[in-house]
Amino acid sequence: MTKCVYPGSFDPFTLGHLDILERACALFGEVKVAVLHNSRKRCFFTLDERLAFIRSAIEARNLSNASAEAFEGLLADYIKIERADCVLRGIRGAIDYEYEAAMAALNKRLYPKCETVVLMASPEHIAVSSSMVREIGRLGGDIGSLVPEANRETIAERLLQDE
Ligand code: PNS
C-alpha cells in the first residue's frame, strides 16, 4: 500500500488543500496530513485548531484513508519514521514551483529515499491560499467559498476577533 504524507502549516486548511487531499486519497492507499508544529513559526490558528479543522473536513467528506497529526522537526526525518513512500504537495503555478522544487531537492538530499509528488491545484482553487483566507476573513469578507463548510463559521468568527 502506498503511503504519502501531505505536510503544511494549514493556517487554516482551505478548499484548495481539501481538493488536493481528496484527489490524493483516490491515488494513494493512505494519506497522512502532517501539520507543522514549529514554535518559531507564528501561526494565527493554534495547532489544536488547525488539526481540528482538518479532522472535521476529513470526517465530513468520509475520507477513510486519510488522517491528520502534528509533526515537529525535519520533514525528511518524519517521512523516514513514518515509512512513507512520498511527500505530497499541491502547487498553484510557477511561483509555488520554485519553492517546491528547492524543498523537494533538499528533502531528497537529507533522505535520499524521499520522493515528492506534486498535484496541480484544480483551476477553481488557483487563487485560494491560507493567507488570503486570513486577510479576507479579518476584514469581514465572505470566506464561504474558500474553506471547508464544516469549519466556515469557526474560522470566520476567530478571524473577526483579530480586527
Ligand atoms: O504550508 P507550508 O508552510 O508551505 O509548508 C511548509 C512545510 C511545513 C512543508 C515546510 O516548512 C517543512 O517541511 N518544514 C519542516 C522543517 C523542514 O524539514 N525544513 C526543511 C525543508 S527542505
Q: What rounded mean pLDDT belongs to the chain? A: 96
Distance 135 CA to ligand 1 centre (A): 22
Give per-residue pLDDT as tens, 106-146.
Answer: 999 999 999 999 999 999 999 999 999 999 999 999 999 99
Radius of gyration of the chain (CA): 15
Specify the pTM. Answer: 0.97
For ligand 1, pick from 75, 98, 108 the residue to mutate: most ligand atoms within 8 Å of CB: 75
- The residues that are catalytic are 17, 41, 92, 130
- Is residue 32 within 8 A of residue 60, CB to CB? The reply is no
3 state DSSP class of 42: coil
128: Cα separation from own chain's centroid: 12
Q: Which three cell numbers stand for residue 136?
A: 479576507
Q: Is 74 in the pocket of ligand 1 (CB under 6 A)?
A: yes
Residue 163: the pLDDT is 57
The DSSP 8-state label assigned to residue 111 in this structure reads: S
Q: What is the mean pLDDT of each run of 10 residues along the chain (163 residues)?
A: 96 98 98 93 94 98 98 97 97 94 98 97 96 97 96 95 74
Q: Tell me how far apart the alpha carbons of residues 12 and 86 are, in angstroms, rounded to a whole number.
A: 23
